[in-house]
Structure 1
Amino acid sequence: MLLSFDSLYFHRQFLCNVVNRFSSIAVFAGASMLAFLFDEVA
Structure 2
Amino acid sequence: MVKFLQPEWNSLETIDLTVKFVWHHPEWRMSLQTHKFLGWP
For normalisation by structure 1, the TM-score amounts to 0.38
Which is bigger in relative contact order (C-alpha 8 A, separation at least 6)? 2
Q: Which protein is richer in strand relative to its size?
A: 2
**Greater helix share, 1 or 2?**
1
- Relative to the length of structure 2, the TM-score reads 0.38
The structure that has the greater radius of gyration is 1
